[in-house]
Structure 1
Amino acid sequence: MPAPPETTQNHSTPTRQDKTVRDLSAKVEELQTEIDSLRRENAELRRADGEHGELEEAQRSERHESDRAEQALWASEKQLRALIAASAQVLYRMSPDWREVQELQGGEFLADTIEPNRNWLQEYIHPDDQPWVCEVIRRAIQTGTVFKLEHRVLRADGTLGWTAFRAVPVHNADGEIVEWFGAARDITERKRAEEDLIISERNLAASQAIAHVGSYSWDLEKNLLTWSDELYRILGLAPQEILPTSDTYTACIHPDDRDEAIRKIRSAVDDGFPEFNEHRIVRPDGTVRFVQVRSRVCREERGKPKLIQGVVQDITERKQTEEALRESEKKLQTLFQLLPVGISVLDEHRKVLDVNPILGDILDLSCDELLHGAYENRRYIRPDGTEMPAAEFPSSRVITEQTAIRNVDIGVEKEDGSTIWTNVSAVPLPFSDWRMLLTTSNITERKRTEEALRRRTDDLVRRSRELEATRDEANMYLDIMTHDVRNANNVSSIYADLLVELLAGDQWLYARRLRDAVQRSSEILQNVATIRRLQTETGRLVPVNLDAVIREEIGNFPGASIRYQDSQVEVPADNLLPVIFTNLIGNAVKFGEPDVEITIRVVEQDEGVLVSVEDTGPGVPDEIKERLFHRFERGRAHGRGEGLGLYICRTLVTRYGGKVWVEDRVAGRPEEGAAFKFTLPVADCSRLRGTGSRAERS
């Protein structure tokens, strides 16, 4: 059966059966040569018989000899076939052009063919192998030479297998190929073994690449060294880039490590112990890598070393990790020593295993004293001054509660009777020897400060209570005075009104001034009451309908000429919001001329509303506009009023989240009136839908 030429170039060891087939094939060629020679002699004799009648007797004798030779040849061929059948699984005969198989004895490997079969290629050869098998056969027919192949076939049981075969051309007397004779055998198991070996080698190479492990073998008798592909890569070389020798590897070792590495190799050879060595190598590009070498020496029966086998692992990453770990441990130890808090490490029995110097400074003990348990002789105190039992120590609670215990204040009473106050936290550790970590801070100064603060707080509370009592007493006197003065003012106002109606001339003027004085006294009492409410009422702000407040206050001045364009908006305020409009409208009425006109505007802006109360009365001089809203500051009527109304307005506007100021009604012309303006935020979801209306009071 034909097979791909490249598959015959394998490196497997020839079997005894392979040798037998080759020997038999050679024997077939020798017999074929002898048959061809006898057939040529017979043909010559037959031609001579036709030309020379007188030699008939001689021809009969020769013919007899020829027949005898052919019988002997037939017997030899039969014997040869029997030998081939005994040594090969398949025997076959093919036509000269290989178009049909004339006979095939497949044994149990291939299906037998008794009759000539022209579909042998499709029935026996794997489809993927058919094209190149045909090409090999075509070249063999052209050259008329023996050829052999290995390829896949469909076996008698229907499964896929492999076969190795050899085909020999059979020539006639004229040298023409009259048929092909061949023998084949089943090599399926060998092919599977080869495939398993290839897979195993690939897996080994992949494993070495993943683990950065290369291998080598050194035949000491032949001084023959072999490296795996991964070992080449570890050394910074391409696989098979150079011929591996002991000197080649030695040259790769870092100069500072070379002598020690060579000494260990020689020691392994001399002593017979496995070699374990770690050293640096230098790659061709100058890169330095760390490797670990493990080797073993194989010896002859007489003990002479004959082979060294070993592995070389790239451990650069591990070395870098170890170095980083050492550096990290160094930093950790430095932090352990320098942290500004006391640190101690305890085992499961609460025995101190390690401490930093700061802890000794805090507890006024040396590190050696702490490690030997000197702290156990001291008395520990709760924050309330009672003694703290050991079961309440954070170190004890960590073990029983199996969780971190944080920020426990503990007083430590020293031998001299003084107390050190500490704040201790304990954290469990996931180590078999180190079970917990304690941090200790010195909070003695903090405790002293807290104690001083507590005493100060107690003193302030006491004073606050005294002030509240004094304020309550003052308010009581103020309430009595306000009540009595208000009653007196009411009576005085009645009599003043009567006098104004009854008197005339200078007496009428005096009576009117008396009535105005009584009214100012009542206003003072009202402002004082308002200021008290500002100081005592601190309730939360709620949405208030600004339009309703303005309309109600306009109604309180029935004789005034007030223009107002309503705006349906709510602002955050309380029940003191009307006081703002009472003061601003009242001031305009009080200080304006009899025909003064007042305009109230509400303009909605992005961040709230702008409210303006404008009048046509005497304006406010520029020099006092900035301080007009300060307490006891009088504006347009010096010597009249106590200067509290505008101060109250500013206080309320500020409470509601706005600001207040005064401008000229007509810019640059203060004599034409003033415009008192203030802003207020808009309450959330407070804009009311509806149409505006115009309100005027005259």
Structure 2
Amino acid sequence: MNHLYNFYRIKTSRGQETHMSRAGSRFTRPRETFQILDEPGVGTIVLDQDMQVAWANTYAMDILSAREEEILGSDAGQVFDTHLVPLLQGRREDAGRLLATVRDGSEIPGLELLVQNARGEERRFVYSSRKIRQEPFAGMWVLCMRDVTERRPTDEGLLSSNRQLLVLNQIMGVSASSLSLDELLEASLSKTLELLDFDLGLTYLLNPERTLALTRYHHAVPKTYLARNRAIKVHHWPWNFVFVAGQPRYLERGGEGGTIEEEILSSLGVSTLACIPILAESVVVGALFLGSRTKEGLRDEECRLLEAIGKEIGSGVLRSVLHKRLEAAHRETNLYLDVMTHDIKNAENVANLYCDLLLDMLKGDAAQYARKLKECVRKSTGILQNVSTIRRIHQEPPDLKPVHLSHVIRASLARTPEAGVSFEDASAEIWADDLLPEIFTNLIGNAVKFGGPDGEITIRVEDDLEEDHTVVVTVEDTGPGIPDEMKETVFDRFKQGREQGCGEGLGLYIVGMLIERYGGRIWVEDRVEGRPDLGASLKFTLREVVHTTADGYED
């Protein structure tokens, strides 16, 4: 068949000699056609429609250690089987896949090959094949073998870095999601063993006195080792290097027999042991021991990864410890608050009784002093009530239910009969919980306190013109009003919105918190626009309950 081919030799611009074949008149401009396929560091072969070699560049010849007359016009599978497969370092899977793709006519985007050239050098190539679908070359194939030998160390470094990031990211996820210290230690050790291919592991934590390291979790550790090392004295060699100095220590077989390091490895039944300190903000809180029965030492990048894992577990331990302390402080605070509330209320009840007795006995200025004393006791009771309400808001999630707004307002007015309030009942039903009365108790009490005995208070409930299924509640008074510069901050904690009078500043803060709890908004306006001295108008929105009929329409 070779006599059918007319071979052309072409000198490329890079000085490489290329070879091509011509079958009949199909290829009339071979130089322009095949020179564009010639690329440094890439062995390129062109097959015709019968899967026979039609052209190859010089680098392809070098890779195959073949001459032009040995391959041009020959079957591609036969060429690869004869010239390439013997160079594949005995990797039969690669050879089989390579030959299958050539003989079956299937494209392959990339197959890594380890080839030993004629000089005995190992070179790495990425093999790819592509079928041409454009005329006049439709049905022909382009096979490329790209030399990636020099790129390989960089690629391996990137792969190693990516793997380390993946492992560390998973450990961070375990650390962040663990709800308890024991769960953190167990999950992080298990994940580290799984991802880094160690056979056994232990987690130690220091006792409060920092004299002993106590086993908190272990996996696949011999019972004989645990029996003698469940608690480690941290100041003894070689553990002081880890628990006191905070330095990692790596033990490997191959040292002198009879040493303590060899005894530790033998008792664990491993050839390599990594002892990694668990650091929480540079303070040693424990250690992670990881052993392998097959590893003969650890690479530098593995050591760095293990040390990073130790720090990440330490951060999780610190978070867990701080969380436990926070919970304990929270419980202690609640205990103090409960005791204070109970005892102060009892004392206030007794004080109120004595005030009532004094008011019955005294006349004139003395009676006035008794009334002021009673008012101070009432104010103290109000402060305790506000503190209890704030605690409920923070601790209890909203359980919103339909509530008749007018009923709540009427009940609040009944508790303050001394207040002259103008209010017309409304049919609105809104979403709220049993803390809703606190809003009106505080707003009405605030208006009475600052408006004085002659003040007028008005409450209105209207539909919100800007938002559907929402009502606007207005509580306005004829008191001294709220200055413009204080309107934005009047609902902040411990802020007082009036220039006259005094108060602890919790009432409006609670009102703002409750409106936010119910999904509404609150703001302050002047009762008479532009005249803050003529009274304040506090407005807030509440979400209205929407009832639907059986056919799905709003009632």
TM-score (norm 1): 0.40
Structure of greater Rg: 1
Higher helix share: 1
TM-score (norm 2): 0.49
